Amino acid sequence: MANAKTGDLVRLLCSIALENGETYVESDPALPEFTVLDGGKWSPNFENLLIGLEPGASRTAQYRPENAFGPYRDDLVYEIPLDEIPEDFELAAGDRFAFNNEAGEELAGQITEIGDDAVTVDCNHPLAGETLTYRVTLLEILPPETVLADAGNAVRVKYAVQPVDGPIFESNGDGDWLQFEIRDSDEADNWVEIMATGMRVGETRAVTAAAAAAFGERDPAKMLAMRRDQFDADQPLAVGAAVVVEFDDGAAREVRIAALDGDLVIVDANHPLAGKDVVYTVTMLGILPVDAKYAKVGDVAVVKFRAVDEQGAVVAGADGEAPLTFRIGDGAALPSIENLVLGLQVGESRRAKVAAADAYGLRDPELIYEAPRSDFPAAAPLAVGQTIELDNDAGGNKVVATIAALTPDAVTVDGNHPLAGKNLEFQIELVGLKSSKD
């Protein structure tokens, strides 16, 4: 079995413990660290411990302050007058605070005290002055050609989120992927991104997150009593149903009905997974180079598009039709189409099942109405199923409608999109792309 040497790409677990034995930081076995030995990413203390190890082996060493994070320096503790800090700046002990010293150098440290006239900021490393014990376990030595997802890479993953004791709550569908750009570790703020960092294509990871670290604990204050007349009269209400509620801050949020009590509707504004331990599963499908060109918001995309109904019939975008051209984010294309285009490179295809509400909308009975035949030109030929243009009283623009029924005296007009109410599969191919930076 090979031993780790300078230049190797390795995966490892590591920890740092204080002199009293207390663990200061420790790797999660489900999220191993990775580094190129002598690559400059890790401190020499860790890398020197790894050199010579074989996979599965561990090594421990103790370092005095001068060989770890340095001695504690009183000159790195600053008193900053409060009158030099904007009044609306929120200060709290333990927060990080950045400032410029008298020489104009930008420094950052931890707020240790807030006095009447000044705030004390300690710019020493939290482990300065400490004697530390480093421990490493070498998990594997990877082939030199291995590509691991790291900050700056755009990645494509399949993911699923589910409570420990329940079915999948959320996932991307078969054949689809979630794409995002990995940020530096101190900026990553969601489990999927954290898990994707360091993965290689084809690899799957599963992590169990405690409720507090997932969607938070349940908050009783988010159980709200509302009057029945605060909802539309024709809106069906049932326990467990999702409804959209406008809150005092003006934001509309989806909540679930927890109980019905006469004229009261008890809604639960907690996340459905709040208070539950959650399992996140991520499979790495692809890693794009840092300089890869792919569709982003603001780009102009040229797209071949087809919509297929549940019986497999092509209902939009038949072969031979001109491609769609639109600027992503401008609203010219359906959001569900834009979401499929985002992240594609020219020549790539993507398909996804799209529910009716996210495709061409649900059918609205109020858009079906009867108009006198005299409202239409006498000489105009009309037939059931015919598409016609009508004036839109709201904005003066033309709207497309379909003739649903005809009598000698009346025309029944259906203003719903012909594909409204249909669950569809959207099929996308990106054939052209102009960056917003071009």
pLDDT higher than threshold 60 for residue 393? no
- Residue 259 tokens read as 């109980």
Banded model confidence at residue 395, pLDDT cuts 50, 70, 90: low
Does one domain contain both 63 and 134? yes
pTM (whole model) above 0.95: no
| Cα–Cα distance for residue pair 40/47, rounded to 1 Å | 9
- Write down the pLDDT at residue 40: 76
- 281 three-class SS: strand
Q: Which domain holds residue 82?
A: 77-122
Does one domain contain both 163 and 115? no
- Write down the pLDDT at residue 396: 58
| Cα–Cα distance for residue pair 111/80, rounded to 1 Å | 10
Comparing 117 with 87, which gets the higher pLDDT? 117
pLDDT higher than threshold 80 for residue 142? yes
- Write down the pLDDT at residue 112: 94
Contact 421, 354 (CB under 8 A): no
- Write down the pLDDT at residue 254: 81
* H or E segment to which residue 337 belongs: helix 335-341
- Full 3-state SS string of 189-207: CCHHHHHHCCCCCCCEEEE
- Asked if the structure places residue 4 within a domain, the reply is no
Can you tell me the mean pLDDT for 255-268? 90
Does one domain contain both 236 and 324? no
Measured in whole angstroms, the distance separating CA 218 from the mean position of its chain's CA atoms is 22
Does one domain contain both 81 and 60? no
- State which amino acid sits at residue 158: K
Can you tell me the mean pLDDT for 59-86? 94
- Asked if the structure places residue 332 within a domain, the reply is yes
CATH at 410: 2.40.10.330
- Asked if the structure places residue 406 within a domain, the reply is yes
- Residue 126 tokens read as 């939290």
| Interval 164-181: pLDDT, tens | 999 999 988 766 788 888
- Asked if the structure places residue 339 within a domain, the reply is yes
Domain count, the chain: 6
Banded model confidence at residue 438, pLDDT cuts 50, 70, 90: low
| Cα–Cα distance for residue pair 209/161, rounded to 1 Å | 10
Compute the residue count for the chain.
438
Which residues, at least 6 apart from 19, have a Cβ–Cβ distance to it below 8 Å? Answer: 130, 131, 132, 133
- Asked if the structure places residue 252 within a domain, the reply is yes
Does one domain contain both 39 and 113? no
Does one domain contain both 375 and 430? no
pLDDT higher than threshold 90 for residue 13? yes
* H or E segment to which residue 45 belongs: helix 44-50
Can you tell me the mean pLDDT for 271-284? 95
| Interval 328-385: pLDDT, tens | 998 889 999 998 999 899 999 998 888 888 898 888 888 888 888 888 887 778 888 8
CATH at 204: 3.10.50.40
Does one domain contain both 18 and 134? yes
- Asked if the structure places residue 198 within a domain, the reply is yes
Does one domain contain both 17 and 135? yes
Does one domain contain both 229 and 183? no
Can you tell me the mean pLDDT for 127-156? 95
- Asked if the structure places residue 2 within a domain, the reply is no
| 411 Rama sector, left if φ>0, alpha if ψ -120 to 50, beta otherwise | beta
Q: Is the sign of the CA dihedral 361, 366, 370, 372 positive or negative?
A: negative
Does one domain contain both 330 and 369? no
| Cα–Cα distance for residue pair 72/64, rounded to 1 Å | 12
Question: How much helix, strand and coil, in percent to the nearest 5, is found in the chain?
Answer: 10, 40, 50
- Asked if the structure places residue 149 within a domain, the reply is no
| Interval 178-201: pLDDT, tens | 888 898 876 667 899 999 999 999
Does one domain contain both 242 and 336? no
Banded model confidence at residue 298, pLDDT cuts 50, 70, 90: very high
- Write down the pLDDT at residue 397: 64
CA distances from 259 to 17, 220, 230, 247, 256 (A): 50, 14, 15, 19, 9
Contact 211, 278 (CB under 8 A): yes
Does one domain contain both 135 and 58? yes
- Write down the pLDDT at residue 125: 95
